[in-house]
Structure 1
């Protein structure tokens, strides 16, 4: 008889638009469905029997094609039971919410009712695109740039209207995490796995994921390390695609193909495209951070 052990109430995948939430789910579904490589957790069953959505996104992932707007617009909550090495069942729920709704939390200070329900899980997987980080705009750097462009001449500029969307990436992410420590989302201290995506591009910095977070997202790094809001965290470098994919050709006759995508399709096992790095170690196993989050 299978023993059911509660490791936690679930995992919420959180990320701004373009952070790679759909790609992560597609890669995870491929891993646990095919069993191509050994993983910490393996597939047990689906709670809501909604295979169509997952099969749609994983088909594109295997073909090394970007997820189209149709797939993104159809994102929905996915619940599955994964099994550990002792045959214990771990219930994992992914409220796969479009990034625009997280952006709305920051820009409009509004929280949809469906988000309150979907984000009631105990632990967080925070995805961000390491190649699309909006850095702070330093006054000294802007002045130096102006001087070099204008030959040192003082130029009068019309002040640009500030909009919430202009805020640095790390400011928006910290605010999202703080939402989880305020009503109606507060569930007490939590774990968070910071997943720095597009690692195949970010690793050109020559840093470990933890060093990258400290250098490129220092405010987020200090916020997490301070323990102010009770977060226990780990930082990972993630490449769920393995490189650049072909553009999605659905309703787009001019979709671009990429040589890197052709190379990725040549892998003997598609699971080996996946790269997950932490503390000098590298694996293809996306269930490793899930196991940590659920413990």
Structure 2
């Protein structure tokens, strides 16, 4: 297990210039929650849903491909969709071969992204864990470099650059809400802030991976169900991120599928932002009232993915 001191602000800051030319500095939008039918307060939305490949995952993908030696066989990744799209995109931009394994639950919008970036796509298995096992077999037989979606040092460092960017954009925030699947995103961001702001995890009720891990004191298996199963249901959080979460994540809030759908609809109806279920989960915690800021609290929400069709919600 990697110690929490290994993924540091210094290392994240060193990675950021390496990937800067390949990733977007995504915008921030401030909204008044009164426009969403909630008590009036200003909420900052960090729109990482506008990142290349449609999610924050591009940061970790480029960090892996630039910081590690890629063999002639190329790279392989398992994904519910977003990580695969990001690895495919990064490989395309860097002229590398990519093979992506996804489970049957992956939505068409994400499969189209992966194919569009020229990667070889393999669909099979009911859930992410099965796609991961198939990708590991492929790496063993071909020599391709495995790019893990969350349990990989370079992945955490790359996602941590989003924390650096959020601090630059929103230096006065006190609280940041972040959706959690395997934990690479919140692990990297929490390592960057290192307790200097409040970090709140948000997870679907059907996939409480970090919630269960914090209860148990270690990563444990959790259900992998619900509307966000393609992005926020990896069975358990990563071993590498867990010490960081224990140290720097205040708690995990669970939201229902109905909360997530309502958040997707509200983001589209009120501000014309397309968010996939996992991308809308953090906003769902505020919209549903499951997270209620204290008076005067400066709160930001990370909208982290957009690979969906708005007709779905």
What is the TM-score when the length of structure 2 is the normalising length? Answer: 0.31
Of the two structures, which has the highest relative contact order with CA contacts closer than 8 Å and spacing of 6 or more?
A: 1
What is the TM-score when the length of structure 1 is the normalising length? Answer: 0.33
Q: Which has the larger radius of gyration?
A: 1
